[in-house]
Amino acid sequence: MPAKLFVGNLSFQATEEDLRELFQQSGTVESVRIVTDQFTGRPRGFGFVEMSTKEEATKAIEMLNGRLFRDRNLVVDEARPQAQRGGGGGGGGGPRGDRGPRPGGSGGAGGGGWRR
């Protein structure tokens, strides 16, 4: 059964082919994906590698976690489903602070939103 690995602290110059070649030292690589920003298309510094067996994935973690690759020490660990990951994301609500009035509102000085 294939086993998916998280690969973090990737160099922004690393390619999927680079990762495939590196992880093939540990066994058969089923797939490789470097995550990119959806708006800019630039790499986000992490990705996923799927090894053909759990044993090969364990070997890859032992061999490659902390290894220097393209001037960065890799973080290699078992990938976890999104539901098991910690917080992150969210936000966006809350007070507007000094960002000014809401669009279409009265807005304070000179605003014509209130009538007597």
As a whole number, mean pLDDT of residues 83-111 equals 57
- pLDDT of 5 higher than 60: yes
51 domain residue, yes or no = yes
Domain span at residue 25 reads 3-72
Asked if 49 and 7 touch (Cβ cutoff 8 Å), the reply is yes
- The verdict on residue 104 lying in a domain is no
Q: What is the pLDDT of residues 30-61, one digit of tens each?
A: 999 999 999 999 999 999 999 999 999 999 99
Q: Please report, for the domain that includes residue 11, its CATH number.
A: 3.30.70.330
H or E, element range at 60:
helix 54-64
Within a domain: 56: yes
Residue 64 located in a structural domain? yes
**How many folded domains does the chain comprise?**
1
| Residue 67 to residue 55: CA distance in whole angstroms | 19
Give the closest residue to 79 by CA, choosing from 27, 31, 16: 31
Using CA atoms, how far apart are residues 58 and 52, in angstroms rounded to an integer? 11
